[in-house]
Structure 1
Amino acid sequence: MKTPQVSIIILNWNNPDYTINCLHSLGKLTYPNYDVILLDNGSEDDSVQKLQAILLGLNYPVEFITNSRNLGFAEGNNVGIRHALERNADYVLLLNNDTEVASDFIEPLVQMAQSDYRIGITGPKIYYFDSPTRIWSAGGLITESGWTQQLGVNAVDSPEYDYLKRVDYVSGCAMLVKREVIEKIGMLDPRFFAYYEETDWCARAAKAGYSIWYVPQSIIWHKISLEAREQSPLYIYLMTRNRLLFLRNRGASNLRVLLNMVLVDLRTIVAWTIWKRYQSVRPLRQWRLIGMWHFLQGKFGEPDL
């Protein structure tokens, strides 16, 4: 049987050194039928020049596309997805540029996806790069309030994370998606810009009858500090706004979304104000409020801050 073609899509934004290390990591892959679509998402540094300089030295095919501005994670990747589908890719594999991968990480993802026509999306076990035995993601669940609950986060790896598991979503840090899924449900929703777009994609795939699986035999390492990200005003803003958009996309009524804002978001703001243990995040209260206000105004896509 023909080995399915996998197009790996990598999005760079003002971070060429991470991207270069990721590209070198992909050069060690054992999977026989893959190519890479590398996109620069309107970087304002020397990313384009640095990336162009190393492309000729790679031992696998790469198409380099430059977006004229920062389109966000969702639409930036959509540009690459469209190119992959035009090139008849059987699978699209979104991969963060701040990752490095095991040489055989593609095979288990494809094998799992090929094992059942109802499996639409698969994702790997993701470790912290700086703590290679500590898990960053082992798939995820979606709560009734629309929160994403990343499984295994910060846990030291153990046998309980070595089993295949059906999950609600896998991280957009690394996710393999069947061509037919994209043809059926469409692209990533650009209204999210960044955060929740992969959760929404997985939820739409599940609604269309496909399942999503965590595949621990596939391994990558992610160069991320969870604590630093959670202290970011932009992260708080986008997570607040986009969670509410995600709830509405899932069919929640306007009344239910408003009640959710009162019970979850406003309650959190009150807790941050009252309780001393939340003193470090107290300055971020306004970004939750702005996120809620922009949701109510219908301001989506690129943040207008």
Structure 2
Amino acid sequence: MSYCAIVIIGFRCSSDIAECLTALKSLEGPDHAVHICENGGDDSYDELCHALSELGGETPSARQSVSPGFLTREFRLAGKETRVFAHRAPGNLGYAGGINAVLAYLKSDPDWDAIWILNPDTAPEPDALAALKRRAVEGGYGIVGSRIVLSHNQRIQMYAGRWRRWMARGWNIGLGEPADATPDTAKIEAEMQYVSGASMYVTRQFIEVIGPMEEGYFLYAEEVDWCLRRGHFRIGYAHDSIVLHDHGATIGSNSNRKMRSSFSVFLDERSKLLLTRRFYPVIFPIVAIVTLLLTTQYAVQGAYKNFGVALAGWFSGLKGEKGFPKRFAPPSRPA
């Protein structure tokens, strides 16, 4: 019997993941299993496994390895018997790297027909997954997104996204609308270019034809990249799939420019240029100038430290640097 593999990428946020799994206990069909890839190291993995043991019991299972240092333990959600696989990454693989590691783990399993990527700080409604699969099957879509609702104000974060290529920024379709608004789904699907990475349903056929996520960004723009290189596949929007999102809780990507983490600021600016160079190389010089000017918004709002970080991220993107940024690597210990 086919099932959906729910994929969550964690980085030292076991409490967020536990809350997400608590919401998933109420999930109503189709069949599913949960795969969590912990990017935060041994201590974080131990914390995650402890949190999972509180939610259910551990199941003796073979600890498969898809790469050196990749460890897997299996749990069950109490009262639900949902399989939960906790994977320890050999290092911080980033968002796409963690997802791709789970895909590598699943490669030999013939039974899954889709993955559902969820942010750790989300709480899906009980019928969220069923609505995603229904929309994918009915519309013949390769990727389907959810109605993302901000948990703190019950307003729409986004129905879907449109990429504004000349300024290398996304536009959240539906931003600020009441959570219970009834938009024109056909209009949204005509306008959308990508779905939110906070809740992203991707069919197995899409993955096998288009390939895995691009890991070079490390964080930000991966979902846009995947959707832009979708080939003949279509992307859709499932309005009945409601996912609450505590936006920015996991990595500090707060909308307040002063409060945003340096890590998120740097990678956000870098990824915009990396994506532009890949998909819109002809206009790259113009976009580079526009995005440089837009970094001054940090200074205008008094976020002077993050203004410097944004400039560094912009310059890194200009040079085409990829992967984990060296400036955030922990200092090496003396021999």
- Report TM bin, short chain: 0.7 to 0.9
User: How many Å apart are 1:272 and its aligned residue?
Assistant: 5.5
Aligned to 1:48: 48
After TM superposition, the structure 1 stretch with the greater mean CA deviation from structure 2, 178-187 or 156-165, is 156-165
Using the TM superposition, give the Cα deviation of residue 115 of structure 1 relative to its aligned residue in structure 2, in angstroms: 1.5
Tell me if the contact between 1:170 and 1:198 (Cα under 8 Å) persists in the aligned partners: yes
Residue 282 of structure 1, CA deviation = 3.5
Question: 2:332 matched to which residue of 1?
Answer: none
2:23 corresponds to which of 22, 25, 34: 25
Alpha-carbon offset, residue 63 of structure 1? 1.8
- 5+ residue gaps in structure 1? none
| Count of residues in Structure 1 that have an aligned counterpart in Structure 2 | 292
Counterpart-to-counterpart distance in 2, 1:209 and 1:301: 28
Q: Does 1:64 align with 2:75?
A: no
Aligned mates of 1:214, 1:270 — CA distance in 2: 34
Residue range with higher mean Cα deviation, 292-301 or 228-237: 228-237
> Are the equivalent residues in 1 in contact too, given 2:139–2:236 (CA < 8 A)?
no
What residue is the counterpart of 2:246 in the other structure? 223
* Counterpart residue identity of residue 164, structure 2: T
* Alignment-derived partner of residue 142 in structure 1: 163
Contact map agreement 1:95 1:172 (CA 8 A) in 2: yes
How big is the shift at 1:94? 0.4
* CA deviations over 1:147-173 (Å, ceiling 9, x no partner): 111122233235343635312111111
Does 2:132 align with 1:109?
yes
Matched, 1:233 2:262: yes
- Residue 211 of structure 1 is aligned with which of 234, 238, 245? 234
Query: CA separation in 2, counterparts of 1:241 and 1:121?
Result: 25
Q: Does the Cα contact within 8 Å between 2:33 and 2:83 map onto a contact in 1?
A: yes
Q: How far apart, in 1, do the equivalents of 2:221 and 2:118 lie?
A: 16
Describe the superposition over 1:224-268 as per-residue Cα deviations: whole angstroms up to 9, x where unpaired.
254247733222211211111111221423xx2122111x12222
Give the structure 2 partner of residue 245 of structure 1. 274
Are 1:268 and 2:311 counterparts?
A: no
Contact 1:19 1:97 in 2 (8 A): yes
Residues 162 and 216, structure 1, Cα contact 8 Å, conserved in 2: no
Amino acid of the structure 2 residue aligned with 1:247 = T
Question: Would the aligned equivalents of 2:114 and 2:202 in 1 still touch at CA under 8 Å?
Answer: yes
* CA RMSD across the alignment: 2.1
How far off is 1:198 after superposition?
Answer: 0.7
More helix by share: 1
Matches within 5 A, 1:42-191: 42-43=40-41, 44-45=43-44, 46-54=46-54, 55-56=56-57, 58=77, 59-88=81-110, 89-117=112-140, 119-131=141-153, 133-145=154-166, 146-161=168-183, 163=185, 165-166=188-189, 167-191=192-216
What is the identity percentage for the equivalent residue pairs of Structure 1 and Structure 2?
A: 26
User: 1:9: which partner in 2?
Assistant: 7
For residues 297 and 92 of structure 2, what CA distance do their matches in structure 1 show? 35
Mind listing any 5+ residue stretches in structure 2 that lack a counterpart?
A: 58-75, 249-253, 328-335
Give yes or no for contact 2:114–2:204 (8 Å, CA) kept in 1. yes
Deviation at 1:127, TM superposition (A): 0.9
